[in-house]
Chain A
Amino acid sequence: MSLNSSSITQADVAPKQPLLRLDAVGKTFGTHVVLEDIDLSLAAGEVVAIIGPSGSGKSTLLRCINQLEPPTTGRVTIGDTTIEAGHTPTRRELMVLRRSIGMVFQSFNLFPHLTVLRNVSLAQERVMGRTREQADAVSMQLLARVGLADKAQQFPSRCSGGQQQRIAIARALALDPQIMLFDEPTSALDPELGLEVLSVMRELAEGGMTMIVVTHEMRFAENVSDRVIIMADGRIVEQGPSGTVMRNPQTERAQRFLHAVKDR
């Protein structure tokens, strides 16, 4: 299963065949419209950065993709699973969706009562049915990949924020996701610690991982992502190849936002 999915993600899939598709996704809380009419499709291996002012719906969009926040309209398609707004997804559909999508949160959300190793192994055992030995072996490889093999037996509270976020990335990768979602992964970190997280993310991107990154790191958006989406007021106001959008935005709203953050 894991071998199959990762070999497919590399190159075999024609770029026309999206890995993930959102059609007219919207989200309202009561009368408050947070997301409106979002269309988005993501090809395997693509890295998309979503930027925009606070409250523009970036995080909600990410959370709608893996149904942490059920959309109120539209549909989310991943592989051959489609989840339609308004229908409660079956347990199976949710399982398929969440196994295919890894998520990294702004506040890390590591499990504080478990060692670093157990944090990475737990879902492998419970969701993928790996044995403890198999899971721990995979976890050690992933921890080594994010440079934290020596922390395996520690508790998360003994790790710095940057280390915790790298552990969280390893934890999400442990389920062999096809897509990784990053929800402002460096916003809770000071710049130096943020860099170590960004460098792990850059390596992931270069390794061919399909990623959607909600971020305030403009340099990451410009240099690492293939495509940039600028959101404002719950809508996509501009999107395109990262170089073009970042350097030469067409819409007034995008220009205004990029001007305000250009020195970051």
Chain B
Amino acid sequence: MIRIAFAGKGGSGKSSISGTFARLLARTDRPVLAVDSDPLPGMAYSLGIPVDDRPAPDDVVVEGPEGGPRWVLRPGLDAGGFIDQYAEAGPDGVRYLQFGNSWGHWSTLQRGQHAWSQVVKEMDPNAWNVVGDLPGGTRQAMFGWAKYADVLAIVAEPTPKSIQVAKRLRNITKADWSPDHVVVVANRVSGPEDVRRISDALERPVIGAVPDDPAVTAADKQAVAPLNGGAGPFVDAVAELVTQVESTYDLDIRSSD
């Protein structure tokens, strides 16, 4: 089983890549849970789920015991039950867990976030391969929201702004909860020199190189998933990324902890 989270500058293409990755991984007949911790969620589009605001109801959490987190899952509801009931079913069998959309219900968002982090922390590590989409920038990732991941995949474009954010994300390795593997996925590259530019700047293994594909831009404008929009080179590159991950990490071995 693998738990991989995608991070990077806003607009670097995390959501497109992570959603497509989740679906292509699910096509290998493995259970895949897509987790979106962006309060402005974008992974639903790329998964092909026509829902971008499906928060769990307020009563999934109750006030926690003193000294612990403020909100905990209500008695009788565990992480597995939460996923069964509230994770959206999407194409290719992917289940989608949304962190809570900040649109319209500011006051209740915090409860949803507590529920989300508790579910991700406590779910059966052998039940799901987890593919995560973190919000743009470094803030959420650096403050521990990527704790669930074994692999942090930093999505970087061949621009100084994108590389700068990627460099800061790389500092996550200094945290004691750092994901075991911090790798790079180069996006919107127009050739090997772009990939080299990114790998030289970041000094981390580049496990995938995704070309600039106008079909993805077109799919974005129509709000359709890259997999449903006929995006060729993009989808091929993400499929290669799945193969790369399959050959590097054993997705069928069950975790012992």
Q: Do A and B come from one complex?
A: no
